[in-house]
Amino acid sequence: MRRSRIILSLFCLLGLLAAGLMVLQPAQARPLRPSPTGQDPLVAGQPYSGDFPDPSVLRVGARYYAYSTTSGDSVKTGLNVPMVTSTDLRTWVLRPETPDAPLGDVLPKPAAWAAYSTTQPDDGRLRPAHGPWAPAVARIAKHDFVLAYAVQAAGVPGQRMCISLAHATTPTGPFVDSTTSPTVCPTKGAIDPQIFIAPNGRPWLVWKRDYFPAKLFTQPMDRAATGVLPGRKPSFLARVAQDWEGTIIENPAMIRYQNRYYLFYSANSYASTAYAVGYLICKTWKGDCHRPRKKPLLHTAGGIAGPGGPSPFVDTRGKLRLGYHAWSAGAVGYAQTGDPCSFAPGTCGQRRLYVARLGVKPDGRLKVKSYYP
C-alpha cells in the first residue's frame, strides 16, 4: 500500500511538472532575439550588456547613443544595426520597438544595391547576405544624422564589402538609405567607415581598404554627407607599421581634442588576445600622422581580452573617452553550434561594449586612466 502511494505520488508530481512545463512553454519558445549561439539575447527596450562589436558612440546633449555591427545568427530575428542608449556610460538600454523600427532595428532596410539573403524576416525589414558592419553615426545638422556602414554589394565578385550612407532626423532613427550605388567601393572592398567633421564643418569619410596589407584612408564629402566629392582621391592615413599590429589594421576613428587630431585604430587578429587598440597623432584631419608610442594603448589586461573597435568621444564634462569592444578573459572567439557553452546563454565569447577614460600628457600623448567608466 505504501509503495502504491509512493508511485501515485510520483505520478502526481510528474503530472504537475508536465503541467508546469506546458504553462512555461510559450515563454520558453519566445525567440531569444537576436542572439548569436550561446550569447545574451537582445530584447528591445531592455538593458543590455552582451555582444556589441565595433561600437560607435555618439553624445547628443546629456545622452549617449551607441551602434554596433549586425547582431544575431538568425536572418529573421537578427538586427541590421543594434542601438543602445545611456546617461551614465554604465547601463545601456536597447532601443524600444516601434512600427517603423521592428525589433528596435535602426536600419530596417539597408541599401537597395546590397546583396540580400534568400530568406527574409516577415516584419518588413530586409536582411543583407553580409553586414551591415561597423556602423558609425555623426551629426550633420540639428535634425540630420548620418549613418555610415559596410555591406556586401550585389553583382560584384568576391563578396565585396562596400560603404553606404543612411540618414535620420534623430539619433534613434530609423535611418533611411536612399543611395543607388556604393559610396566607396574599391576593387578589394572597403569597410569600417567613420565620419569626421572638420573644423570648417565639412564631413570627411574615414575608412579601411579591405585587403592585405590593409590601409586607412579619408576623403571629403559633400556638406550634406550624401556622398564623397567626385574627382577627389582618398588621402592616405596609415598602414601596418609595428610588430604588435601583425598584418591587420582597421576600425579607424578620428577626433579633434585639445587642438590635436587623434586617429585611433585596431590591429592584429580580432578573435585573439593579440588584438589591441593603437593611435596616431596627425597634423591635420587629412593625414600626416605618426605613432607616438611603440605599444598599443589598450591591450589584453585583467578581465578583458582583445580590445578593439575604438570610438573616441567627449563626455558631458569635456573629458576624452574611448568606446571599444572586448572579449572576456578566457572566452575569446565566437562559439559554434554545439559547443558546450551554447547551452548556457551568456557564457560564450562575446565582444562587449566598454568605455575607457583617457588622459592627455603635456606633449599630447595619451594615457589610459581606466579601462572602464
pLDDT in tens, 10-68: 444 444 334 343 333 333 322 323 334 556 788 899 999 999 999 999 999 999 999 99
pLDDT in tens, 217-257: 999 999 999 999 999 999 999 999 999 999 999 999 999 99
**∠ CA 167-185-256 to the nearest 5 degrees?**
60
3-state secondary structure 42-77: CCCCCECCCECCCCEEEEECCEEEEECCCECCCCCC
| Helix, strand, coil percentages, rounded to 5, for the chain | 10, 40, 50
Q: Which residue, chain included where needed, has cell 590593409?
A: 214
Write down the pTM of the prediction: 0.89
CATH of the domain at 288: 2.115.10.20
Sorting pLDDT into bands at 50, 70 and 90, what band is 212?
confident
Q: Which amino acid is at 321?
A: R
pLDDT in tens, 152-162: 999 998 889 99
Mean pLDDT of the chain: 89
Q: 309 and 251 in contact (C-beta within 8 Å)? A: yes
- Rounded distance, CA 198 to CA 255, Å? 9
**pLDDT number for residue 17:** 38
Q: Which amino acid is at 241?
A: A
**pLDDT number for residue 339:** 79
Domain that holds residue 135: 34-370
pLDDT in tens, 187-205: 999 999 999 999 999 999 9
Q: Considering the domain boundaries, does residue 26 fall inside one?
A: no
Q: Which amino acid is at 254?
A: M
Sorting pLDDT into bands at 50, 70 and 90, what band is 345?
low
**pLDDT number for residue 157:** 87
The total number of structural domains in the chain stands at 1
